[in-house]
Amino acid sequence: MNINSVTDTLKYAYSLNLNQSTFRFRGQANFEWTLQPSIYRYNSFKRYQTVDFESNLLSTKPKQATPPLTFTEFDLEWLMLCQHYEIPTRLMDWSMDILISLFFAC
């Protein structure tokens, strides 16, 4: 099957009965890009430096926030917030909604 448009993508996706599946989607504008977290892109960090960077990042998490943020044992919520504001993390953005992925792919 050739997929050449958003319409083709949606037809194929809906044929998979996505509303009853556990698919996750990632929208990228270029299929040749590797799946790589932002902290490893553009040679911004060497692999061993990521632990130091994340340790510093986690130590600076806000003590007060509106609304109040609760943090898990591994501070995943804080890392997700950093990811949202384009601070390099080891997290990757995924969606359960194919339309959101299509938005980022365009």
**pLDDT recorded at residue 19:** 66
**Same structural domain for residues 26 and 53?**
no
Residue 42 lies in a domain: no
pLDDT digits (tens, 9 = 90+) for 18-76: 666 678 888 888 888 888 888 877 666 666 677 677 777 777 666 655 555 555 655 77
**Same structural domain for residues 68 and 98?**
no
Enclosing domain of residue 82: 47-90
The string of DSSP codes covering the chain is: ----SHHHHHHHHHHTTGGGS---B---S-TTS----GGGGGG-S-TTHHHHHHHHHHHT--SS-SSPP---TT-HHHHHHHHHTT---S----BS-HHHHHHHH-
pLDDT digits (tens, 9 = 90+) for 77-98: 778 888 888 888 888 888 888 8
**pLDDT recorded at residue 57:** 72
**Domain total for the chain?**
2
